Amino acid sequence: MMENVFSVIMVALMGVLGGLPTLYLTVSIPVVLGQKIYRKVKYGRSLFD
């Protein structure tokens, strides 16, 4: 019984540890691209700065 509880806790912990970076990348990449495109349109700056 104790091994089963430990396994469930480990699976949940690994799910959270894998999900947080995925969520961060899913949100941050479009935001950064949006900022770069906005600066390109408004100020004429390079997309690579």
Q: What are phi and psi of 48, to 5 degrees?
A: -100, 5
pTM higher than 0.75, yes or no?
no
Residue 44, phi-psi category: left (phi > 0), alpha (psi -120 to 50), beta (remainder): left
pLDDT, tens digit, 9 for 90 and up, residues 11-21: 999 999 999 99
d(CA 17, CA 34): 27
Domain boundaries, the chain: 1-49
pLDDT, tens digit, 9 for 90 and up, residues 25-49: 999 999 999 999 999 999 999 988 7
C-alpha angle 31-36-39 in degrees, rounded to nearest 5: 125
Could you tell me which residues come within 8 angstroms of residue 49 by beta carbon, excluding any fewer than 6 positions away? 39
